[in-house]
Amino acid sequence: MSAECSSYLSADKVLVSAFSCPRAGGDARAVYCCGFQDVKYCCDDPHSFFPYEHSYMWWLSVGALVGLAIAAVVLFAFIITVCVLCYLFISTKPRGKLDTGLSLQMAGKTGC
């Protein structure tokens, strides 16, 4: 069993000529032509999309987890700051009746 990969233009605009799978000197199990319009390769899984090992995905996952952890710490610090400021605002508020500094008189009565 073999497959034929048609010629294509690579991402660098270089014409890559057609080849058949499996390639000479390559993996004998790679009998399928896989890839995209600008990169084609022989593979052993007809549903394969990437010609690389998937180990780079772990670094992306670690980076995403680090970013999420930093965002969570910043959000937590923001919430704690808001709670502390609210507590300080409420606890330092005077409890008694506020003096507005105005002297009010009752209507209809005059003071002597």
Q: Are residues 35 and 56 in the same domain?
A: no
Q: Are residues 35 and 57 in the same domain?
A: no
Q: How many domains does the chain have?
A: 2
Determine how many CB atoms are found less than 10 A away from the CB of residue 43. 22
Q: Are residues 87 and 56 in the same domain?
A: yes
Query: Domain for residue 100, yes or no?
Result: no
Residue 86's pLDDT is what?
93
Query: Domain for residue 105, yes or no?
Result: no
pTM above 0.75, yes or no: no
Query: Domain for residue 109, yes or no?
Result: no
| pLDDT band at residue 23 using 50, 70 and 90 as cut-offs | confident
Question: Domain of 86?
Answer: 52-92
Residue ranges in 1-112 assigned as alpha helix (H): 56-91
Q: State the average pLDDT over residues 16-37.
A: 86
Q: State the average pLDDT over residues 44-50.
A: 69
Q: Which of 16-20, 22-26, 45-49, 56-60 has the highest mean pLDDT?
A: 16-20
